[in-house]
Amino acid sequence: MKITITLLSITLVGTLAWAQGRGQRGAGAGEQAAPAPAVNLNLPEGDAKRGETYYAKYGCWECHGYTGQTGNGARLATTALNANGFVNYIRKPRTNQMPLYSAKVISDQDGADLFAYIKTFKKPPEAKDIPLLQQIINEK
């Protein structure tokens, strides 16, 4: 038997504002620190095929979903970052929830490959094009 989560049991209208274990430490889950200035990393060209294996190997899917659209993490399928910004971000994440990946763990080449794979993710459909969601929005 185990206790897997720490619950901040007061919740929003359904959006559960609960924090997860160590995620609450320090600045607090989801709290954003000031962005570190992006360093120009002169990244090599990324390879999406290799990036796909890294996406699985490094467990990116765990917080960002298998298609970069779901989960607790940022929606990678619609990221506004470029490759340099992306690798800078994983080196110094702005949230306590996001693990930090040093160059020892994910090299610049691996990072560039990951980003190349992320750029292959499809964008989600617009809500206006999903009748089911429109129906729910229009309900009283």
Partner 1 sequence: MKKSSVNRRGFLKGAAASAAALVAKPAEKAQAQQPAQTRPAVAVPNSAQLAAETGPPRAQVERIVENPGSDFMMDVIKSLNFEYITTNPGSSFQGLHESIINYGGNTKPELLTCCHEESAVAMAHGYAKIEGKPIMALLHGTVGTQHAAMAIYNAYADRVPIYLVIGNHMDAAVRPGGVNWYHSAQDMAAMIRDFTKWDDNPASLGAMANSSVRAYRMMMTPPMGPVAIIIDSEMQENAMPGPRPRIPKLTMPAPPQGDMAAVREAAKMLVAAQAPRINCQRAARTPEGMKLVTELAELLQCPVNGNGERMHIPSRHPLAGTGYQGYPVDLVLDLEVQGGGAPPANAKSISISSLDLFMKSNIQDFQPMSQADLAIAGDAQATLPWLIEEVKRAITADRKRVFEERGKRLAEAHAKQREQAIEDARYGWDSSPISLARLAAELWPLIKNEDWSLVGWQGFIGGWPGRLWNMNKHYHYIGGQGAGGIGYNAPAAVGAALANRKYGRLSVNIQTDGDMNYAPGVLWTAAHHKIPLLTIMHNNRGYHAEVMFVQRMAAERNRGVDKAHIGTRLIEPNINYAKMAETYGLTGIGPISDPKDMAAAFKRGIEIVKRGEPVVIDTITQPR
Shortest distance (Å) from residue 9 CB to partner 1: 5
Residues near 94 by beta carbon (within 8 Å), at least 6 away in sequence: 32, 33, 35
Shortest distance (Å) from residue 45 CB to partner 1: 23
- For residues 30 and 61, which CB has a smaller minimum distance to partner 1 in the complex? 61
- For residues 60 and 116, which CB has a smaller minimum distance to partner 1 in the complex? 60
Distance of alpha carbon 93 from alpha carbon 32, whole angstroms: 9
Distance of alpha carbon 19 from alpha carbon 11, whole angstroms: 11
Whether 79 and 25 have beta carbons less than 8 Å apart is answered as no
φ and ψ at residue 32, rounded to 5 degrees: -100, 130
By CB under 8 A, name the binding residues for partner 1: 1-16, 18, 20-23, 57-59, 61-63, 65-67, 69-72, 75, 77, 97, 99-102, 104-105, 122, 124-127, 130, 132-133, 135-137, 139-140
Shortest distance (Å) from residue 49 CB to partner 1: 18
